[in-house]
Amino acid sequence: MAELQLTRADFEPLHTDQEIHSLSRPSLSYWQDAWIRLKANTRALFSLYLVIALLAFTLVGPLFWTVDPAAQDVDQISLPPFADRDARIVSPYEPWNGSSVLPVGEGLRLADTPTSEAVRLVWDPVAGATSYSVYRSRYPTGDDRALGLPLIDLYGSASTTFEDRLDLSPRTYYYSLLAYDGAGNELDFQTLTVEVNRVITAESAVERGLIAAPDDVQIGDVIFMPLHPLGTDYLGRDMLARLMHGARVSLFIGIAAPFLYVLFGVVYGSTAGFIGGQTDQLLMRFADFVVALPFLLFMILFKIAFGIGPGESGIFPMLVALVLLSWPATSRLVRGQILQIRQEGYINASRLLGAANGYLVLRHMIPNTMGVILVTLTFAVPSAIFTEAFLSFIGMGVAPPTPSWGSMCNEGIKTMLTTPHELIFPALFISITVLAFNLLGDGLRDALDARMRSVE
Amino acid sequence: MSTVITSDDSFTSAAGRQLLIFAALAISGITLLMLGLSWASSRTGAASGSNNAVDPVTNTLTVFLREEPPQLDSSKATDTVSGSVLGHVVEGLLRYDEHNQIAPGVAESWDIRADGATFRLRENARWSDGRPVTADDFVFAWQTALDPANASEYAFILYPVKNGEAINAGELPLEELGAVAVDDRTLEVTFERPLAYFDKLVTFSTYYPIRRDFYQSVKGAFGADANRILYNGPFVISRWVHGASLKMDRNPYYWNPDRAKLQTIDFAYITSDANASLNLFKDDKIAYTTLLAENLDDAMQQRWHIHRFMDGGVFYIEFNHRPGRLTGNHHLRKAMQLATESAELVYKVTKLPGYLPGESLFPVWLKGVHGFFREEYPANYPHMDLEQARRHLEKAKQELGLKVIPPLVLLSGDNPVSNIQAEYYQQIFRKHLGLDLKIDKQIFKQRLAKMLSGDFDLVLAGWGPDYDDPLTFGDLFASWNLNNRGRYDNPELDRWVRVAQDEQDVQKRMDAFGEIQRILIEDAVILPGYERGVTYVTNPQMKGMVRRAVGPDPDFSNAWIVD
């Protein structure tokens, strides 16, 4: 029988190996972890930069691009981006009575240098003609007699001059002259090709701020018209400035409305979910009722109720209508989450340890629903931007001359075929913004999903 | 471990297959539904719209209407669409022919004196039920239009007939009207006061005949449907699908069988959307369409034959002169007048060929003593003069006791041409005078209601001629005229309007119009914008379509088709 030999050393605490307790990587909070995962998602990160760039575009942009978005320039209407902009200085326009001495030459010819201000035509009287018609086309006249725009019908054999001032832009025009006798028979047909140059008077150059004083330039000098990097719209307003200012309205609605209604939705939903029972039923049935209210109708009602008169901006009633009618979706989502979290073991444990309701909500429930809330918020932004664009498109939003992307689309769509840039730019901005917010929302959902936390 | 994964995989693929089947089912279901719907819509839609715009075989012309004719009761019709339709199917005593000259209609001869007129009706003028058109049909029609119970908006156009105004006011019985059927074929008219242009007046639709027994038999629904109108024009309405289409066929009873060359005019589409009608024209569904400024390049590129004509209308900004309105101030109006230049608006903003810069209420085509009125009485409209404009503005501020003029409301129509103008003026007044304008866009009816009640400071308004005499414009701003929407009230102008109405001597009348024109410009009662032209394209196979400023427009009654 062997005696159990116990030494003193046997009663010493076991030596703990420090290595076991040392952590393999630093402790990460929920947010740090989410941020790492978001950073790994290049799509979402790119969208985040896009959103920041858009905010800079609208908030900082106007500081650098100081063109008035409402300033019209009727000499530069519907200009495409980066159009040539050299203009020759001429003396101010003088009305022309056509009685000046006929310039030498034969047939239909020019009486003066053709400019974007006026093209002056003269022709020799055609024997027996009692009326003349002048046409102008952008395309060469052929045998099919497609003469283009009928500019004027002149009666009387003595009328052998015509001044064309209609919407002249620097390009080649093909003029045609038809002579008729009293019975309406065609007697003569002449054509003339005219190269029009852009001109500007010294006074209007000063007015546009291109030169300091009229004396700075001589007649015949070439100066550059104001630069419009993205072109101009149908009233000669700068597209870039309008896009910057339009973004304010779009992004204001796009960010303010979701922020307000998501906030309300969270409070409402968590109250319903936390209290539960009859109160929950009552609150959620009221939410169902709000879902059933038609948005457009309420938007119009608010517009009237707030006394928004004609020609005033409808942005405020739009905001109110959005906030009052869009919260139920968020509140349902949050309520569902809260109901689920309420059953969790750690909540019960916390409650047994004596946690008050307020502590439970603030410490456990809201942080655990934060992911859902943030994702809802980022998805709500593009939908609100869309709503604003749509309402401005149908004329319910901003009042002219305030631009918004939606109202710019509405104006651009009318000239979609001839000057597509007026539609493409605002439409592109809406699309990019909506896409950026959607992708960012996608990335956030992945990043904030607690179940993906352990996944590398 | 590996078996679990396998089962997981099979589960996934099974779910995937199920999903695929569902998707295929859903897509095929939707496709079937679409096909069914398109089949159903093709059965209920415009059944007549499948042919080409011009069909030489059936001698049919297919065109469109801008809107559903609002009123085909000729005693109540006011608008151009109804006027155009009525012009094809009903004929008055006289009419405008294809050269826009007065031509005999139901009357074969007429005699207009200073105090009255006698019309001799042709024997073979027939209603579409074969019965003759008699003098009593005219008397009845005019009495109906003047009957206060019918509240016809255009009753005033009959006021030149003796007692017309009193009857319309309910002061005299209908029988007191100065139009008497001496016998079936003789109509005797007495004038209220001497009148120089009665032959032009009787071409207007309010002067068209209505047969008494037929009008009474339809019991207040006259003009409401194709079979509730009696026709005596070159065409009859054979089919009218409300809101969708209207079809006309040649009238076998018309007295001049050579006039109508087409067998059928099919107004197969009713649309006011210029882009929609342009597409219909491109697809060869309609024979003509109006062009907007943004379609011009397209039309040139398609090498279409483009036409233009002046529709006679004058468009302008009308001020509200009612007491309490800032725009009642002469200097404020003067400032705005001197800050605008209509040539810029027309040549650079609206950009449509055929538009003329407005200078006067009286358009250039009105005839004066010998030649054109505007050549004999030049408008001398002031050019833009910003220095003077600002001086006027300062005076206006002093008189009104205001440091800053509060925003003014510009009432505007809700259509592309109005929108661009409104925004142009908004910026012009802001830039040149520092005045703020609020744009109040309204649809036509609502705008008219607001104009009537005076709920505006400025309004984009216009006026089209009813008959070919300067008076159709000249009496517009008389204090008693209900179409004077801004309630301009100037005894001097009223006096000249009275002269223009009563005077027989052409020279003195035109002098009076010259004075009216001078007052309108000097007092800046309106800001003329433009005289409207219409730019349109036609199918080269269609000939003889007539556009006119006064009378039914467009008019296809003389049109024909070439192969």
Residue B274 contacts residue B293 (beta carbons within 8 Å): no
Give pTM, 2 decimals.
0.78
CATH code for A102-200? 2.60.40.10
CATH H-level, domain B44-67+235-310+539-561: superfamily: Periplasmic binding protein-like II (3.40.190.10)
The tens place of each residue's pLDDT in chain B, 563 residues long, gives 444 444 455 666 777 888 899 999 999 999 999 999 888 776 654 444 456 888 888 899 999 998 888 889 999 888 888 889 999 999 999 999 888 888 999 999 999 888 889 999 999 999 999 899 999 999 999 999 999 988 888 888 898 899 998 998 889 998 899 999 999 999 999 998 888 788 888 999 999 999 999 999 988 889 888 989 999 999 999 999 988 899 999 999 999 988 889 999 999 998 888 888 888 998 889 999 988 888 888 888 888 889 888 888 899 999 999 998 999 999 999 999 999 989 889 988 888 888 889 999 999 888 888 888 988 999 888 988 889 999 999 999 999 998 889 999 999 988 778 888 999 999 899 989 999 999 888 887 788 888 888 899 999 998 888 888 899 899 899 988 878 888 999 999 999 999 988 888 889 999 999 999 999 999 999 999 999 888 999 998 898 898 888 888 889 998 999 87
Count of beta carbons in the 10 Å neighbourhood of residue B45: 13
Of the candidates A287, A316, A283, which has an alpha carbon nearest to the alpha carbon of residue A299? Answer: A316
DSSP letters spanning B337-350: HHT--HHHIIIIII
Q: What CATH number should be reported for the domain whose range is A45-68+235-452? A: 1.10.3720.10
Give me the pLDDT at residue B528, please: 93
| Contact pairs from chain A to chain B, CB under 8 Å | 104
Walk across the sheet containing B54-55 and list its strands.
Answer: B54-55, B60-65, B264-270, B245-250, B235-241
Q: Which amino acid is at B559?
A: A
Say yes or no for a CB contact (<8 Å) between A74 and B437. Answer: no
Cα nearest neighbour of A71 on chain B: B427
Distance of alpha carbon A161 from alpha carbon A109, whole angstroms: 10
Those residues whose C-beta lies under 8 Å from the C-beta of residue B458, and which sit 6 or more positions away, are: B317, B318, B319, B320, B327, B408, B409, B410, B411, B437
Contact predicate B349/B480, CB 8 Å: no
Question: Using an 8 Å Cβ cutoff, are A241 and A65 in contact?
Answer: yes
Chain B CB contacts of A117 below 8 Å: none
Min Cα–Cα distance to chain B from A78, Å: 10
Considering only the top CATH level, what class is B314-533? alpha beta
Chain A: closest CA distance from residue B186 (Å):
36
Residue with tokens 């910057």: A244
Q: What pLDDT was estimated at residue B145?
A: 92
Q: Domain map of chain B by residue range?
A: 44-67+235-310+539-561, 80-228, 314-533
Query: A130: closest CA among A100, A102, A160, A97?
Result: A160
Q: Which of residues 427-486 of B touch A (CB under 8 A)?
A: 427-428, 430-431, 437-442
- Write the secondary structure of B376-420 as one string of H (helix), E (strand) and C (coil): HCCCCCCCCCHHHHHHHHHHHHHHHCCCCCCCEEEEEECCHHHHH
Query: What whole-number distance in Å separates Cα of residue A154 and Cα of residue A168?
Result: 21
Q: Which residue of B has its CA nearest to A412?
A: B294
Q: What is the DSSP letter of B303?
A: T
C-alpha dist (Å) from residue B92 to A156, A246, B84, B145, B209:
33, 57, 13, 14, 6
Tell me the residue ranges of DSSP E strands in A96-185: 109-110, 119-122, 131-137, 149-155, 161-164, 172-180
Residues of chain A with CATH 2.60.40.10: 102-200
B-chain CB neighbours of A139 within 8 Å are 300-301, 303
Cβ contacts of B354 on chain A, cutoff 8 Å: 150
Q: Give how far Cα B108 sits from Cα of A363, B118, B121, B556, Å.
A: 100, 11, 6, 23
Residue B260 DSSP class: -
ipTM of this model?
A: 0.78
Interface contact flag, A77 B348, Cβ < 8 Å: yes
- Tell me where in chain A the CATH 1.10.3720.10 domain(s) lie: 45-68+235-452
User: With an 8 Å Cβ cutoff, are B348 and A74 in contact?
Assistant: yes
Selection from B305, B382, B414 nearest residue A176 by Cα: B305
> Using CA atoms, how far apart are residues B522 and B381, in angstroms rounded to an integer?
9
Cβ of B427 and A71 within 8 Å? yes
Are A373 and A441 contacting, i.e. CB atoms less than 8 angstroms apart?
no
Using CA coordinates, name the residue in chain B closest to A94: B383
Q: Which CATH number fits domain B80-228: 2.120.10.30, 3.90.1150.10, 3.20.20.70, 3.90.76.10?
A: 3.90.76.10
Task: Compute the distance between CA of residue B557 and CA of residue B256 in angstroms, rounded to an integer.
Answer: 12
Any idea what the Cα angle at residue A192 is, between residues A188 and A198, rounded to 5°? Answer: 150
B441-454 per-position pLDDT tens digit: 888 778 888 888 88
What does each C-alpha distance from B199 to A316, B80, B546 come to in angstroms?
Answer: 59, 20, 20
Compute the distance between CA of residue B441 and CA of residue A163 in angstroms, rounded to an integer: 35
Both tokens assigned to A295 = 């948005």
